Amino acid sequence: MMDRHGDGSAGDANYGAIGNGYINYRQPDPHIAAFILKALGDTKSVLNVGAGAGSYEPTDRDVTAVEPSASMRAQRPAHLPRAVDAAAERLPFADKSFDASMATFTVHQWNDLAAGLTEMRRVTRGPVLVLSCDPTKLERSWLQAYAPEMIAVEARRYPPLAAFEAAWGGTVEVIPVPIPLGCVDGFSEAYYGRPERLLEPGARLANSAWSFVDQSVADRFVAQLTRDLAEGKWGERYGSLRSQPYFEGSLQLLVSRP
């Protein structure tokens, strides 16, 4: 049996400790959601693995959600289905139970990526979708200059894109997803043009990578960014990002079709 944290979290992050205010900062962004809906096509039944508080779950079809963390299950809005307490590596469903399956911002937290991806493919008749980040492109963010330790953690946690093809076999389509300036899903790159937001403790807490670095890293980050914003140094280097409509960062949608 895989190890779990106190609230049932089955991955490397303890959402019992960091997930209580998650939904305040991590909402599904319509621009990103459009990529997912397009890839889902006309499928009717969808499995959402590592579903968390329900971001990006389509509301126009039959969705089954799986989420091992009790604190995350408790944050799911009332209009979404209750999530099944289970983990990706051992899905409690028969072969080919769903038209499609999806996983968003979760595979980097799984104990066994290959097992989870294989399970998703096993229970799915049609497309399998994963929204993740390319670890080789994380350094494109200005955060690399301010919190390289956090970026290094992210780069270690996000699986290389080749791992998906190795687990699924066949052809895996990799679709870059540009990040909009006003992105309401507050992963770190979402604030590429709004650096002030990352001065909020809740915004950092909603990005699990910050829980893997020493508090001194966050303290230094806040002090340096606060100073550079006040003195105009951030603006000199990155000010054009404040009006850049999209950022070509690390966000990728990976699609496996049978």
Q: Are 24 and 77 in contact (CB under 8 A)?
A: no
Locus of tokens 């019992």: 16
H-helix or E-strand containing 205? Answer: helix 201-205
Q: What is the C-alpha separation between 186 and 198, in angstroms, rounded?
A: 9
Residuewise pLDDT in 10s, the chain (258 residues) = 344 444 444 455 444 444 456 678 888 999 999 999 999 999 999 999 999 888 899 999 999 999 998 888 988 889 999 999 999 999 999 999 999 999 999 998 899 999 999 999 999 999 999 999 999 999 999 999 999 999 999 999 999 999 999 999 988 999 999 999 999 999 989 999 999 999 999 999 888 889 899 999 999 999 999 999 999 999 999 999 999 999 999 999 999 998
Domain residue limits, the chain: 15-256
Reply yes or no on domain 15-256 having CATH 3.40.50.150: yes
Return the pLDDT at 221.
98
**DSSP bridge pairs for 180:** 246
What string of H, E and C letters represents the secondary structure of 12-55? CCCHHHHCCCHHHHECCCHHHHHHHHHHHCCCCEEEEECCCCCC
Query: Which tokens sit at 202?
Result: 């809740």
Report how far Cα 17 is from the mean position of its chain's Cα atoms.
18
Angstrom distances, CA of residue 141 to CA of 179, 236, 238, 256: 12, 15, 10, 28
Positive or negative, the Cα torsion across 208, 213, 217, 218? positive
Model's pTM, two decimal places?
0.88
